[in-house]
Amino acid sequence: MKRLPFEKPLSELLDKIDQLKALAQSEGIDLSAEIAKIEERATMVRQDLYANLTPIDVVQIARHPNRPDALSLAMMITDEWTELHGDRQFGDDPSIIGGVGRLGDHRVVIIGHQKGHDTKENLHRNFGMPHPEGYRKAMRLMMLANQFQMPIITFIDTPGAYPGLTAEERGQAEAIARNLKVMAGLEVPILSVVIGEGGSGGALGIGLSNRLFMMQYAVYSVISPEGCASILFRDAKKADVAAKALRITASDIMSMGICHGILPEPLGGAHHDWQAVATTIQSQLIDTLRHYEGWTPEQWVTERWQHFRKLGPFIENGEPANMPSFC
């Protein structure tokens, strides 16, 4: 499994464990006591590293190639999962997946950005960067949910909407904007989980929801730290400084009142235990849907409107309004 740059101290120990294991096997000697000792030490080092993560470390975890993807999570948390395809207008964008299934007692529509785990998959999925037809596919599935009164779950995991000529020609900006407007008026609950990378408008395009949860090591940002560094800091190497300044971690987003809950990840990140992640997400979503039982369609629309209406701090006649909790 890919080791992240900040895991260097851990990496040496893991190499050592691999070497000892190989040696034990080839020479037929018992090194289990030594291996156990180093493994114990590795766990301590890992705990220490993960207790002191910087925002750019979290970005690396959020982008780990083995992180659980939207489609796998959808299959793991539902029964009778059936993937559905196409925007009914132009095509079927593999960067956005969607389908129907049962989550606990609820019939649900699930939509998500889809990244790959290796180069071949990523080329197919366009690295999780949707074209307009991806957003229109999402909208078509959300209309389906609205028609048949099914709650909508969205999994957010994208570097951003695809920035290229083909996307521009087919109206990338309009596709995202339209989703925002339509989502605001849907008469079903919408729950979103940022499972990895929440990249700007491309993330928000399926994220105007009643409740937004973030995985512990997920990030959500107006621009990538690298993009911000090269534009504002005039130095692409200052991504770490930009990541800190932008306040993109789950706890930052929560302190600004945008995220409603942080879902804990296994030690070392979600990529170490997909099943544990799926279980956490599943129980949070089922709990939340239970909370909404008995609500009327108007209540969901009103709750969404009231939530977004109060986002955005400003000063008026010397009085600050909508300030985040850390100020």
Interface residues toward another protein, by CB under 8 A: 161, 163-165, 167-174, 176-178, 180-182, 184-185, 200-201, 204-205, 207-208, 220-223, 227-228, 230-234, 242, 245-248, 252-253, 256, 258, 304-305, 308-309, 311-317, 320, 322-324, 327
User: By C-beta, is 52 or 317 nearer to another protein?
Assistant: 317
Residue length of the chain: 327
User: By C-beta, is 58 or 256 nearer to another protein?
Assistant: 256
CB of 241 to another protein, least distance (A): 8
User: By C-beta, is 36 or 231 nearer to another protein?
Assistant: 231
User: How far, in Å, are 64, 253, 261, 315 from residue 311 at the CA level?
Assistant: 30, 12, 17, 13
Give the distance, in angstroms, between the CA of residue 5 and the centroid of all CA atoms in the same chain. 21
CB of 231 to another protein, least distance (A): 5
User: By C-beta, is 114 or 200 nearer to another protein?
Assistant: 200
User: By C-beta, is 147 or 275 nearer to another protein?
Assistant: 147
Q: Which residue's structure tokens are 């300030």? A: 323
Token pair recorded at residue 50: 């993960």
CB neighbour class for 301 (10 Å; exposed up to 12, middle 13-18, buried from 19): middle
Token pair recorded at residue 44: 């301590």
Q: Rounded to whole angstroms, how far apart are CA atoms 177 and 98?
A: 19
CB of 95 to another protein, least distance (A): 14
Which residues are 39's β-sheet partners? Answer: none
Give the type of residue at 305: W
CB neighbour class for 2 (10 Å; exposed up to 12, middle 13-18, buried from 19): exposed
Give the type of residue at 182: V
CB of 199 to another protein, least distance (A): 10
- Please give the backbone phi and psi of residue 267, each rounded to the nearest 5 degrees, phi first: -55, 130
CB of 280 to another protein, least distance (A): 23
CB of 272 to another protein, least distance (A): 27
CB of 210 to another protein, least distance (A): 12
User: By C-beta, is 151 or 205 nearer to another protein?
Assistant: 205
CB of 238 to another protein, least distance (A): 9
Q: Which residue's structure tokens are 């909404």? A: 292
Centre a 10 Å sphere on the Cβ of residue 42 and count the other Cβ atoms it contains.
19
User: By C-beta, is 204 or 263 nearer to another protein?
Assistant: 204
Q: Which residue's structure tokens are 């997400």? A: 281
User: By C-beta, is 72 or 172 nearer to another protein?
Assistant: 172
Which residues are 100's β-sheet partners? Answer: 82, 109
